[in-house]
């Protein structure tokens, strides 16, 4: 099978690759968002803890 044929998908290339593209986007998004939130939470907590520590 050549590459052109593979991307053509027997004429259904648009439908097949749009579906797989959206799936990839959604699955990656659901990894990136909690990872970013986690990092933000950790820096937030440590900043607040440091500020509380400095106060007399």
Partner 1 sequence: MFNNFFHKMASPKYFYRISGKLIPWFAVPCLLLTLAGLYYGLVEAPADYQQGDSYRIMFIHVPAAWMSMFIYVVMAGAGAIGLIWRIKLAEIMAISSAPIGAWFTFLALVTGSIWGKPMWGTWWVWDARLTSELILLFLYLGVIALYSAIDDKRTAARAVAILAIVGVVNIPIIHYSVEWWNTLHQGPTVTKFDKPSIHISMLIPLLLMAFAFKFYYAFVVLMRARCELLERERHTGWARELTEQK
Residues interacting with partner 1, by CB under 8 A? 1, 6, 9-12, 15-16, 18-20, 22-23, 26-27, 29-31, 34-35, 37-38, 41-46, 48-49
End-to-end CA distance of the chain: 73
Looking from the CA of 49 toward its CB, the CA atoms found within 13 Å total 6
SS3 30: helix
CB 51 to partner 1: min, Å: 12
CB 29 to partner 1: min, Å: 8
Residue (4 or 43) nearer to partner 1, CB:
43
């Amino acid at each position: 099978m050549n590459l052109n044929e593979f991307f053509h998908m027997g004429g259904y290339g648009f439908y097949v690759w749009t579906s797989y593209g959206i799936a990839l986007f959604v699955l990656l998004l659901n990894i990136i968002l909690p990872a970013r939130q986690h990092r933000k939470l950790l820096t937030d907590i440590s900043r607040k803890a440091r500020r509380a520590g400095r106060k007399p």
